[in-house]
Amino acid sequence: MKLSIIIVNYNVKFFLAQCLNSVKLSLETLNQDAEVFVVDNHSVDGSVALIKEQYPWVKLIENNENLGFSKANNQAIKISKGEYILLLNPDTVVEQDTFIKVIEYMDNNPQVGGLGVRMIDGKGNFLPESKRGLPTPKVAFYKISGLSKLFPKSRVFNKYHLGYLSETEIHDVEVLSGAFMLIRRKVLDKIGLLDETFFMYGEDVDLSYRIIQAGYKNIYFPKTTIIHYKGESTKKGSINYVRMFYSAMSIFANKHFKNSQSNFFSLLINIAIWTRALVAMLKRMFIKVIVPLFDFLFFFLCFYFITQIWQQIKFGGEANYPDEFLLYVLPIYAILFVFSLYYVGFYSKKTQWSDLFKGIGLGSLLILSFYALLSEDLRYSRAIVIIGISFLFVLFPLVRYILSPLSLFYVGKPKKKRAIVIGSNSEYKRIVELLNKTQNYELVLWLSNNEQHKESIGVLSDLEEIIGIHKINEIVFCSKDLSPKSIIEQMTMLSEWNIDFKIVGDAVIGSKTVFTDEPTFDVFINSIAKPLNKRNKRLFDFITSLLLIIFSPVLCIMFKNKKQFFKNLWYVLIGKYSWIGYARPINSTLPKIKTAIIPITFSEDSHHVNEINLLYAKDFKISLELIHFLKNINKINQKPKL
């Protein structure tokens, strides 16, 4: 057999289909015996079902876990029969004559051990990693420091991407890309398979280096071009990616360089990771701050100009409002509006128009309350408050609508539902018909509640990953197949995902029926993990701690352990502990919250404790938090159980 193609897949079903279609066309022009392997690393996006249904000619290897790139490739290499082995990424598209050209070149050049091709991204831009140099400490330093970008054509500073070599000419290179890496079998027999120490990234560098050490050449071959969408199954901008990539480089350095070089390389890697982490943190802070800051300036300027206009109308343009009003009162109005928007969740990722109007409404109430509490000498004009609020109800939504094309200022509309049904196959089929009556579901998947089934997208342990990949926003539980306790635990555990829940069956676990002819119910879960409840809980802790600190000279008389009393006040104030929280032992499936000074129950019965903790996490109410705190205020000096 001439060629064995190996594709390692992980949750990129649509890219894989495109890749296999192009591979099939290219193999038809090759007119030689070939085989195609897809090694699936436990995808939950339906990749396996797709291959079985539409690509029966593919030799499929299904893994029950993500084994990483090296191990997965080695699985297929060991049973492959081709004279040449091609490692190919699933997010690639090959040309119709790609295989003919590369095999012809390899047949005519026996000294070549490995070959890579010219790659472009999804927008047609040349990918510089098509040809690379060995990442020695010096080469790595130039890349990490940014000198390679400053001098892209330099033979000294850009040896990493070999920027001084033409992208249209054949060249000897040191490193081939694992996205398309053609290797002679006899070379692999001599140097060994991929090093499984590398989980992801770096294995292509290691393999390329071993090919050269064995006396063979690595060739950059630009006479054919492939599309490489580059990183569809990874988040290249994330800190986790940076850590994994540079850690792989560290493994390579420790394996192939001297100790002194390896230590220097490790130092560079740590600098790179921390630098990227710092930049990412500053970027996130900027994104979080810039929008509220813009809104603050907008609110302040609105009140300021209304003040100037009202001054002109009422006093003929004479300055009648003191600096204190402009410098202190108006900024407080703006702060109250921004706080209200934050409180209702307007600055979350899923910004809704309803949150905008809720925030403006709450801000208006706070400003009116604040105005009423001001002393007479600071109540300069009720008209400015009323006019300002009225204008903001119109102007702020209008400005946000104009700016909504910008991602930072986007205000979204409710999306169509993407649901997953958990239960048996028969219940799933019944529920799909039921859900389709509403005509607002664009996707309904089935998740088996017990063992893996060929039509199921996965099993219960895969649920969180499935939610992320398929952007699920509703989960439907089948009460015939799942116990109420199991359903509630799953709902509580998943509450941070901002997902809607429904239960279908005879048991009523919630309220508000959706369909009058079927027992389907929306379930009310006011989880402690919801952002609004987290903010309320933190606000409660902060305010009570502040008040207790103010009155501590009097209150400390009540407590024998005064040192622990003051420690608790400080730790709750800064957010290390919370006044109220779970009792021990804590079920690992519950949402994580701060360690409590006063547990929600003092029972020592573990079964009872679990039930109370679950109810507390499921139906959080700040009023109950306050009641429990006041009932047990004599215990605020006790040491928290860690």
pLDDT at 570 (0 to 100): 93
Q: 3-131+167-233, superfamily in CATH?
A: Spore Coat Polysaccharide Biosynthesis Protein SpsA; Chain A (3.90.550.10)
Percentage of the residues of the chain whose pLDDT score is greater than 90: 27
Question: Sign of torsion, CA 435 454 456 11?
Answer: negative
pLDDT at 500 (0 to 100): 81
Question: pLDDT of 571-584, one tens digit each?
Answer: 999 999 999 999 98
Note if the bond before 585 is cis, omega within 30 degrees: yes
Q: Say which residue the tokens 């499929």 belong to.
A: 60
pLDDT tier for residue 187 given thresholds of 50, 70 and 90: very high
User: Taking residues 250-266, what's their average pLDDT?
Assistant: 61
pLDDT at 35 (0 to 100): 96
Q: What one-character DSSP code corresponds to residue 416? A: P
pLDDT at 81 (0 to 100): 94
- The domain defined by 417-522 carries CATH number 3.90.1150.10: no
Region class of 87: left (phi > 0), else alpha (psi between -120 and 50), else beta: beta
Question: pLDDT of 506-523, one tens digit each?
Answer: 432 333 333 333 344 445
Tell me whether residue 308 is exposed, middle or buried, using C-beta atoms within 10 angstroms of its C-beta: 0 to 12, 13 to 18, 19 or more: middle
What is the distance between the alpha carbons of residues 375 and 370, in angstroms, rounded to a whole number?
10
Which residues contact residue 269 at a Cβ distance below 8 angstroms, ignoring those fewer than 6 apart? Answer: 140, 246, 247, 249, 250
Question: Sign of torsion, CA 48 52 54 59?
Answer: positive
What is the distance between the alpha carbons of residues 422 and 481, in angstroms, rounded to a whole number?
8
pLDDT at 611 (0 to 100): 80
pLDDT at 512 (0 to 100): 36
CA 78 → CA 62, 70, 560, distances in Å?
Answer: 15, 12, 72
Coil vs helix vs strand at 526: strand
Over 80: is that where the pLDDT of 440 sits? no
Over 90: is that where the pLDDT of 76 sits? yes
Q: Say which residue the tokens 């573990």 belong to.
A: 606
pLDDT at 510 (0 to 100): 31
* Sequence ranges of the domains in the chain: 3-131+167-233, 286-409, 417-522, 531-635
Give the phi and the psi of residue 580 in degrees, each rounded to 5.
-115, 145
What is the distance between the alpha carbons of residues 161 and 175, in angstroms, rounded to a whole number?
9
pLDDT tier for residue 281 given thresholds of 50, 70 and 90: low
pLDDT tier for residue 74 given thresholds of 50, 70 and 90: very high
Question: pLDDT of 88-100, one tens digit each?
Answer: 999 888 988 999 9
What is the distance between the alpha carbons of residues 459 and 558, in angstroms, rounded to a whole number?
55
Question: pLDDT of 198-229, one tens digit each?
Answer: 666 668 888 888 899 899 999 999 999 888 87
Question: pLDDT of 109-118, one tens digit each?
Answer: 999 999 999 9
pLDDT at 517 (0 to 100): 39
Over 60: is that where the pLDDT of 504 sits? yes
pLDDT at 506 (0 to 100): 46
User: Taking residues 529-542, what's their average pLDDT?
Assistant: 86
Question: pLDDT of 359-370, one tens digit each?
Answer: 999 899 889 888
Over 70: is that where the pLDDT of 233 sits? no
Question: pLDDT of 584-610, one tens digit each?
Answer: 888 777 888 899 999 998 887 777 788
Percentage of the residues of the chain whose pLDDT score is greater than 70: 82
> Residue 316 corresponds to which tokens in the numbers above?
């003929």
Q: What one-character DSSP code corresponds to residue 620? A: -
Question: pLDDT of 314-357, one tens digit each?
Answer: 777 666 777 778 888 899 999 999 999 988 888 876 678 888 89
User: Taking residues 260-286, what's their average pLDDT?
Assistant: 64
What is the distance between the alpha carbons of residues 537 and 523, in angstroms, rounded to a whole number?
23
pLDDT at 294 (0 to 100): 93
Question: pLDDT of 138-165, one tens digit each?
Answer: 676 666 667 777 787 777 777 777 877 8
Could you tell me where the beta strands, DSSP code E, fall in 176-216? Answer: 180-184
pLDDT at 617 (0 to 100): 85
Which of 170-179, 266-275, 417-426, 544-553 bottoms out in mean pLDDT, i.e. has the lowest? 266-275
User: Taking residues 233-237, what's their average pLDDT?
Assistant: 45
- Other C-beta atoms lying within 10 Å of the C-beta of residue 543: 11
What is the distance between the alpha carbons of residues 419 and 406, in angstroms, rounded to a whole number?
29
What is the distance between the alpha carbons of residues 501 and 474, in angstroms, rounded to a whole number?
6
pLDDT at 518 (0 to 100): 39
CA 262 to chain centre: 33
CA 485 → CA 482, 488, 490, 533, distances in Å?
Answer: 8, 5, 9, 23
pLDDT at 572 (0 to 100): 93
Cα end-to-end span (Å), the chain: 63
Asked if residue 61 lies in contact with residue 26, where contact means CB atoms within 8 angstroms, the answer is: no
pLDDT at 248 (0 to 100): 59
pLDDT at 237 (0 to 100): 45
pLDDT tier for residue 567 given thresholds of 50, 70 and 90: very high
Write out 544-566 in H/E/C secondary structure.
HHHHHHHCHHHHHHHCCCHHHHH
Q: What mean pLDDT, rounded, does the chain reach?
A: 82
Query: 115, 105, 116, 98: which is closest to 187 by C-alpha?
Result: 115
Q: What one-character DSSP code corresponds to residue 328? A: I
Strands 511-513 and 520-522: antiparallel
What is the distance between the alpha carbons of residues 87 and 102, in angstroms, rounded to a whole number?
13
What is the distance between the alpha carbons of residues 95 and 78, in angstroms, rounded to a whole number?
27
Q: What one-character DSSP code corresponds to residue 377? A: G
pLDDT at 579 (0 to 100): 94
pLDDT at 452 (0 to 100): 66
pLDDT at 535 (0 to 100): 84
The contacts found for 143-152 with CB under 8 angstroms, 24 or more apart, are 144/268, 144/271, 144/272, 144/275
Tell me whether residue 177 is exposed, middle or buried, using C-beta atoms within 10 angstroms of its C-beta: 0 to 12, 13 to 18, 19 or more: buried
pLDDT at 298 (0 to 100): 94
Report which of residues 256 and 626 the model is more confident about: 626
Over 70: is that where the pLDDT of 477 sits? yes
Residues paired with 446 in a beta bridge = 421
What is the distance between the alpha carbons of residues 346 and 352, in angstroms, rounded to a whole number?
7
Question: pLDDT of 356-405, one tens digit each?
Answer: 898 999 899 889 888 887 777 667 778 888 999 999 999 999 999 898 88
Asked if residue 90 lies in contact with residue 7, where contact means CB atoms within 8 angstroms, the answer is: yes
